[in-house]
Amino acid sequence: MNNIFVYCENEEGKVADVSLELLTKGRVLADTLGCELEALVLGHNLAGVEKELAEYGADRIHIADCACLAPYRTLPHAAVVCGIFKEEQPQIALFGASPVGRDLGPRVSSALHSGLTADCTSLEIGSHTDVKTGKEYQNLLYQIRPAFGGNIIATIINPDHRPQMATVREGVMKKEKAKTPGKGVVVKVDANKYLKDSDFVVRIIDRQIEKRKINIKNASVIVAGGYGMGSKENFQLLFDLADVLGAEVGASRAAVDAGMADHARQVGQTGVTVRPKLYIACGISGQIQHTAGMDQSAMIISINSDPEAPINKIADYAIVGDAMEIIPKMIKYYKQNSK
C-alpha cells in the first residue's frame, strides 16, 4: 500500500519536535488521501517510542533498534531508509529540515531518483495537468516553499517519481496529538539486512552537545528591543514573542548599555549587521547607529509610542502604541492564525 512515511529523528529515543509536527501534518494528508500514516524510527534504546508516535497519528511504526544506528550517521541511516522505501513504496516521505534531515533527505532522494523539495512552508494535496502532454495527475503533493532569498513562493510537484519527498523546518507545522490515535502497529526492522561494512566508513570520534549559542546574524525573523522597553523584566516579553515566532531577540545599543540584554544581541554599527526577512523593532527610536545594522531587512515593523520616532521613516509598518500591550496581542493572534 502506498502510504505516507515520516522519518522520526530522535536523540536516545526522544523524538524531535519537528518529527511530531510532521506526523501531525502527515495525519491530515493521509486522511485526505485515504491512506495510512507510517513512522520510521532509527536509533538505539527505542523501547516505548511507539506510544507517543501513535498518539500523533502513526498507524504503522517501523523501529530499527541497533547500537550501530546511534548517534546518527548518514550512510547507515540512508541504507536502512532506502531499503524500507524500496519494499514499502511510499507515495510521500517527509523529513525534518534539520541538519539531520537535510543531510539524509538528499542522499535518499538521489539513491531512489525521486525529487526532494527542501524547507517547505506548506504541504497540500492537489491535481495537475501537464501542459505538453495533457496528462492529468490526481492527488499530488504540492510542496510549497519560498525561494530566491524569500522573494518568490514556488509550488513544486513531483508527478512521475515516488516517493514525493519534502523537508520542513521545525516550528513551521503545528504539533498536535491526533483526535483519534493511529493504529500504532509496530514493525520490527532488522537493520543488518540493509547494512554493509562500507556504510561505517565515517567514524564519530567526539560529540559535544552544547547550549544553544546566540546567533542573531542568521535569524530570518528578529524581535528587537530598545531603551523604550524600560527594564530587563519587560525585555522578557520580547523573548516570549520570539519563541512563538521562531525568531531571535536583538537589542539596540542603549538597551545593551542599560543592562537589558546581552551584548551578543546588539544590532547596529558597533554590533551585528542583520538582514532578516522580518525585523520587529520595539521601543527603538531609530538612531542611525542602530538602523545602519538593520535597514536592509526585507520588512520592518516598528512599535513605538512616539508617532514621530525616526524608525518609522524606514519601517514598512509603524504601530503607534505601547509595546507592553501590543506584543501580547501579536502572540495571541499569531497562535490563533498560524497553522
Residues 237-266 interacting with other proteins (rule: CB under 8 A):
245
Cα–Cα distance, 303 to 320 (Å, whole number): 6
Site string for other proteins, 166-185 (x = CB under 8 A): ------x-------------
Cα–Cα distance, 222 to 288 (Å, whole number): 18
Choices 179-187, 230-238, 255-263, 271-279 (CB under 8 A): range interacting with other proteins: 271-279
Asked if residue 58 lies in contact with residue 35, where contact means CB atoms within 8 angstroms, the answer is no
| Nearest of 87, 150, 50, 85 to residue 95 by alpha carbon | 85
Task: Tell me how far CA of residue 219 lies from CA of 204, 215, 278, in angstroms.
Answer: 29, 7, 9
Looking only at residues 139 through 168 of this chain, which bind other proteins when binding is defined by CB under 8 A? 142-143, 146-161
SS3 at position 101: helix
Give the nearer residue to other proteins in terms of CB position, either 75 or 258. 75
Shortest distance, position 177 Cβ to other proteins, whole Å: 21
In the list 136, 179, 201, 233, the residue contacting other proteins (rule: CB under 8 A) is: 201
Length of the chain: 339
Cα–Cα distance, 224 to 202 (Å, whole number): 42
User: CA angle, 230 as apex, 224 and 234 as ends, to 5°?
Assistant: 65
Looking only at residues 294 through 333 of this chain, which bind other proteins when binding is defined by CB under 8 A? 296, 298-299, 301-303, 307, 312-313, 315-322, 325-326, 329-330, 333
Which helix (H) or strand (E) element contains residue 185? strand 185-188
By CB under 8 A, is residue 133 in contact with other proteins?
A: no
Looking only at residues 2 through 31 of this chain, which bind other proteins when binding is defined by CB under 8 A? none
In the list 58, 70, 118, 237, the residue contacting other proteins (rule: CB under 8 A) is: 118
Provide the 10 A C-beta neighbour count for residue 254.
Answer: 21
Shortest distance, position 223 Cβ to other proteins, whole Å: 11
Looking only at residues 36 through 65 of this chain, which bind other proteins when binding is defined by CB under 8 A? none
Instruction: Give the CA radius of gyration of the chain.
Output: 23
In the list 55, 68, 74, 269, the residue contacting other proteins (rule: CB under 8 A) is: 74
By CB under 8 A, is residue 113 in contact with other proteins?
A: yes
By CB under 8 A, is residue 83 in contact with other proteins?
A: no
